[in-house]
């Protein structure tokens, strides 16, 4: 028998999970595939927040900006430079990561509200910078086209299934990489730093360097998520990255529980499901335009508050605690 280490186990688990998803993909319609692609995309963005806030203790209110960096990079590499979409997405990760590295270096000394304010200002200003450079297409933006699926997948293979495959595989690979990283030595150092920066510093951890690294990693993940997001909407423009996107992703992360990657799919599902739930509610009970349009926002916000109050460490934590109590 092969000895299965935790890492190997995780790899097998992810492959199995991916396989199930792709099989499921054959059984459902285009709408579900499209929604599934968004779930994967948001799950990635949430992963990126968990990496930064949950593991390194830095709060970002501007993840939309980091996603925008990845999105524009991807668009330029695919549309302007004519690279293969997969290569384009990989470049997104690296460019966004480098951007995050620089940002991390700049904000390394900031904490709490100072960091929050800076990332918030970044979130509103960076997308508008696109207007400054003609190559980025101004308000109109530029197309983001990953093309149709290769012919060998057959005629039946729809564009949506192609989106689904790309986003699901990209998300699985990325989350797997991050999970491996966090379950190892780095994860422990990150947690030590988050829980008690002073003690961590005293025990020889280079807190400053680690924070910058967290920013770079988180930004790379966010960049991939941004690339996928604009793939799904076929174009990238400043308006694709409003403040509400940054907040929504943060909500997803809080609902998931900031301290574990286990629930990121759940967070993605919630972000995709809420507008749907609101829609079906509205179609049942009706209401004014003001009511119907604001209901999703209301539900997201209410969920956010409930999550903070009742499951501050994530639903997983709650289950664990109940379990623990039963045992005692």
Residues that bind other proteins (CB under 8 A): 53-54, 57, 59, 61, 106-107, 109-114, 116-118, 120-122, 124-126, 128-129, 131-132, 194-195, 243, 247, 250-251, 254, 258-259, 288-291, 293-295, 297-298, 300-302, 304-305, 308-309, 312-313
| Alpha-carbon gap, residue 225 to 270, rounded angstroms | 17
Question: What does the buried/exposed string (b/e) look like for 240-269 if buried means 16 or more CB atoms within 10 Å of the residue's CB?
Answer: bbeeebbbbbbbbbbbbbbbbbebbbbbbb
Q: How far is the CB of 315 from other proteins (least distance, A)?
A: 13
Answer whether 80's CB lies under 8 Å from 253's CB.
Answer: no
Virtual torsion, Cα 173, 175, 178, 180, nearest 10 deg: -70
Residues paired with 235 in a beta bridge: 143
CB of 10 or CB of 262, closer to other proteins:
262
Q: How far is the CB of 166 from other proteins (least distance, A)?
A: 31
Q: How far is the CB of 96 from other proteins (least distance, A)?
A: 18
- The answer for residues whose C-beta is within 8 angstroms of residue 14's C-beta and 6 or more apart is 172, 175, 176
Helix (H) or strand (E) holding 232: helix 207-232
CB of 143 or CB of 304, closer to other proteins:
304
CB of 126 or CB of 264, closer to other proteins:
126
CB of 125 or CB of 203, closer to other proteins:
125
Q: How far is the CB of 307 from other proteins (least distance, A)?
A: 8
CB of 86 or CB of 129, closer to other proteins:
129
Query: What's the angle, vertex CA 6, arms to CA 173 and CA 255, rounded to 5?
Result: 60
Q: How far is the CB of 326 from other proteins (least distance, A)?
A: 22
């Amino acid at each position: 028998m092969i000895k299965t280490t935790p890492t190997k186990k995780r790899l097998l688990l992810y492959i199995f999970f991916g396989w199930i998803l792709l099989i499921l993909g054959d059984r459902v319609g285009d709408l579900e595939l499209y929604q599934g692609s968004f779930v994967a995309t948001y799950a990635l963005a949430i992963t990126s927040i968990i990496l930064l806030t949950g593991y390194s203790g830095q709060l970002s209110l501007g993840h939309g900006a980091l996603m925008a960096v990845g999105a524009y990079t991807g668009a330029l590499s695919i549309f302007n430079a004519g690279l293969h979409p997969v290569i384009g997405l990989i470049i997104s990760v690296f460019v966004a990561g480098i951007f995050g590295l620089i940002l991390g270096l700049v904000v390394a000394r900031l904490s709490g509200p100072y960091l929050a304010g800076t990332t918030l200002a970044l979130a509103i200003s960076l997308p508008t910078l696109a207007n400054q450079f003609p190559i980025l297409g101004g308000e109109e933006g530029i197309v983001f086209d990953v093309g149709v699926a290769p012919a060998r997948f057959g005629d039946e293979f729809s564009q949506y299934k192609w989106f689904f495959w790309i986003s699901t595989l990209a998300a699985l690979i990325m989350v797997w990489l991050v999970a491996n990283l966090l379950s190892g030595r780095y994860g422990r150092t990150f947690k030590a730093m988050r829980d008690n920066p002073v003690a961590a510093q005293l025990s020889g951890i280079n807190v400053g360097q680690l924070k910058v690294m967290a920013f770079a990693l988180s930004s790379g993940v966010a960049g991939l998520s941004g690339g996928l997001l604009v793939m799904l909407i076929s174009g990238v423009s400043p308006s694709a990255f409003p403040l509400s996107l940054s907040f929504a992703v943060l909500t997803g992360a809080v609902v998931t529980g900031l301290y574990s990657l286990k629930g990121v799919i759940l967070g993605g599902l919630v972000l995709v499901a809420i507008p749907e739930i609101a829609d079906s509610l509205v179609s049942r009970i009706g209401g004014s335009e003001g009511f119907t349009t604001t209901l999703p926002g209301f539900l997201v916000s209410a969920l956010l508050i409930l999550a903070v109050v009742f499951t501050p460490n994530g639903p997983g934590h709650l289950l664990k605690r109940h379990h623990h109590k039963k045992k005692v």
